[in-house]
Amino acid sequence: MRTTTNMRLMMTMALCVLFSIQSGIAYNFALGIFGNANMDDTIDESDIAFIREIIGGTQKATAFADANYDGRIDEKDITQIQSIIMGNETNLTIVDGVGRNVTVSVPIENIVTIAGSYGPEMLLALGIKPLAISESKSHAVQLQDMLKDVPTVGSSNEPDSEAILGLNPEIVHCYENFYKQGSYEKMEKALNSRGIGLIAMDFHKPGNFDNAIRIMGYLLGRQERADSLIDFEESNMNLIQERTKNLTDEERTYLYFESSKDFATRGPGDNTYDAIVLCGGRSIFDDIAEPYPTVDPEAIIQRDPHVVIKTPDGFAATNNAEPLIEVLNSLKNRTGWQDLNAVKDGRLYFLNGGTRSVHNSIFCLFLAKALYPDRFNDVDPESIYRQWYNKFLGIDNNLVMVYPPSESWQ
């Protein structure tokens, strides 16, 4: 009987995962906080009921059932879950982005983020000003203003441990990749010896976003804000799915996507490639099974895309369109490009990689509109981007992120 229930649970979870991969939208995820006994996307009364069933022997223990993380499942876990629901828990154990269980005192007020421009943007969106940040050249100009009195403590991959310790944060937040590469081994020891936790967590990867943001919301006592960030993402992604789901193969737009370097495109295994597919588009180079291929310039002419999108990463956004126009002009002047249909039809776009950041759905809206202007003629991604700034950062966004302006795309 128990086996059947567990099988069913596993099947359901497998289906959920499958669905989220297919749709690209993580409606269902197992929130990585101890206390989420039933492994759904939240902590509520049903987790208490689940613990009672575990104690009663009718349910098997799950990965997050040991709410107070003391190695046993008993009444104390119910007390901890009750505290989490009430919002008066004093500590939480979470699973960070690289799979470590980290226990921290909550709510956290003093946090240092050394995760480039994404960490600071996410913390500000959650309503928290970091104690310190790492150096980054890719902050949009408005973010630079918001962070101008926040000190920097080295770079993302070579942080200044002494300076961080001197600020006495409760936790330090870092990128997952540098953690995995071992960049922080020495620093982590020093931090831990002072009781400071290190949490590796990425907010710029769509597949992780819901879980990561909700965990951070719990840690910072900003759950409502986290939920509203998730809702924002999901409503945009739902819109895209709704408007592109019935595209036939003949209707699909072929695009050439170019990242920062000349003739560098993206393929399977890369987030941008996934976003293109999710928006119903097809890369003219989707026969190359590599995430970061560099292509033959001649092949672009031969394959003649409907749309060309140039998206440099780390292109610090300002209020000035000139640098974007310059990039587009240099593309138009490439050998043979005057004859491309995309150029003749005026469907050559500059899209700043910064539109992705911690709001992937905005980047996707730009992509979707560039690919299918008829299906998104009532949607202006720039205006939605401004709404995000207003709603979550409380400031006006006058950044020139795209060129030509997205309301003119057709």
The stretches of 250-336 forming alpha helices (DSSP H) are 271-278, 297-303, 322-332
Pick the closer one to Ca ion by CB: 56 or 182: 56
Enter the tokens of residue 367.
């992509």
User: Going residue by residue from 218 to 247, which x/- string records binding to Ca ion, judged by CB under 5 A?
Assistant: ------------------------------
Of the two residues 50 and 175, which places its CB atom closer to Ca ion in the complex?
50
| Chain centroid to CA 373 | 25
Q: How far is the CB of 35 from Ca ion (least distance, A)?
A: 8
Partners of residue 103 on adjacent β-strands: 93
Encoded amino acid at 144, one letter: Q
Alpha-carbon span 221 to 283, nearest angstrom: 42
CB of 122 to Ca ion, least distance (A): 23
Residue with token string 């939920």: 227
Structure token pair of residue 325:
């126009």
In the bound state with Ca ion, the residue whose beta carbon lies nearer, of 84 and 255, is 84
Q: Which of 229, 276, 271, 233 is nearest to 26 (CA)?
A: 233
Q: Is 68 in the site for Ca ion (CB under 5 A)?
A: yes
Choose, by CB under 5 A, the member of 29, 30, 32, 47 that binds Ca ion: 47
| Shortest CB 29 distance to Ca ion, Å | 11
- Which helix (H) or strand (E) is 219 found in, with range? helix 206-220
Q: Segment contacting Ca ion (CB under 5 A): 2-10, 32-40, 289-297, 390-398?
A: 32-40
Nearer to Ca ion, 34 or 256 (CB): 34
Q: Which is nearer to Ca ion, 72 or 391 (CB)?
A: 72
Which residues neighbour 229 within 8 Å (Cβ) at sequence distance 6 or greater?
125, 126, 213, 392
Contact call for residue 38 and Ca ion (CB under 5 A): yes
Nearer to Ca ion, 92 or 112 (CB): 92
Q: Is the peptide bond before 381 cis (omega within 30 degrees of 0)?
A: no
Shortest distance, CB of residue 32 to Ca ion, whole angstroms? 11
Among 28, 40, 83, 386, binds Ca ion (CB under 5 A): 40
**What's the CA gap between 216 and 91, in Å, rounded?**
13
d(Cα 309, Cα 107) in Å, to the nearest integer? 42
Does position 36 interact with Ca ion (CB under 5 A)? The reply is yes
Query: Footprint of Ca ion on residues 129-168 (CB under 5 A)?
Result: none
**From 29-37, 168-176, 325-333, 399-407, span contacting Ca ion (CB under 5 A):** 29-37
The site map against Ca ion for 71-110 (x = CB under 5 A) is: -x----x---------------------------------
- With CB under 5 A as the rule, give the number of residues binding Ca ion: 9
For residue 118, give the nearest of 356, 315, 350 by alpha carbon: 356
Structural contact between residues 237 and 126, judged by C-beta atoms closer than 8 angstroms: no
Q: Which of 33, 66, 96, 350 binds Ca ion (CB under 5 A)?
A: 66
Rounded Cα gap, residues 253 and 241, in angstroms = 15
Buried-state track 250-288, b at ≥16 Cβ within 10 A, e below 16:
eeebbbbbbbeeeeebbbeebbbbbbbebbbbbbbbeeb
Complex with Ca ion: residue 20 or 144, whichever CB lies closer = 20
Q: Give residues in contact with Ca ion (CB under 5 A).
A: 36, 38, 40, 47, 66, 68, 70, 72, 77
